[in-house]
Structure 1
Amino acid sequence: MARIGVEQSLTQVKEALMEMGHEIIDLQTEEDARQCDCCVVSGMDNNVMGMQDTVSEGQVINAQGYSAEEITQMVNERLS
């Protein structure tokens, strides 16, 4: 399965993805994001500093407004 980076605040998303067999990495640094196939972010501090640097070649999913089930579906669709 894939290596998925998930922000620490998204506990339900982490649990759902782990149940599906994905390896979960807590996103704390840019290096964490570089190691992932896909990243799930909360969107709470989206582009606060006006920076748009690309950190990861993988997919980034903004979880804001979605349930854990919807996010797991998005992850699986983007990784397939």
Structure 2
Amino acid sequence: MPKVGVEQSLTAVQEALQQKGYDVVQLNNEDDAKGCDCCVVTGIDNNVMGMSNAVTAGSVIAAHGLSADEVCQQVESRLNH
């Protein structure tokens, strides 16, 4: 099953993905994202400086404003493209 990194504040999303059989890891720092097929973040933190360091080749989904089910649908569509 694909490995999905989920920001630690998104407990409902983490539980929903685990119920669907995904290998879920908490994203506590950027090293946790390495090896993930997809990452789910709150989307609240904005990159004000315009700098970014890619730590995963997988998709990144901003969960802000989405329900846990909607996030699961996003994960499934990105991983099954």
CA distance in 1, matches of 2:65, 2:53: 24
The residue number in structure 2 matching 1:15 is 15
The residue number in structure 2 matching 1:36 is 36
The residue number in structure 2 matching 1:63 is 63
- Where structure 2 has 5 or more consecutive residues not aligned to the other structure, the ranges are none
The residue number in structure 1 matching 2:26 is 26
CA distance in 2, matches of 1:5, 1:48: 23
The residue number in structure 2 matching 1:78 is 78
Quick one: which amino acid aligns to residue 21 of structure 1? G
TM-score normalised to structure 2 length: 0.91
- Where structure 1 has 5 or more consecutive residues not aligned to the other structure, the ranges are none
SS of the aligned residue for 2:4 comes to strand
SS of the aligned residue for 2:32 comes to helix
> What root-mean-square deviation, in Å, do the aligned CA atoms of Structure 1 and Structure 2 show?
1.1
1:51 paired to 2:51: yes
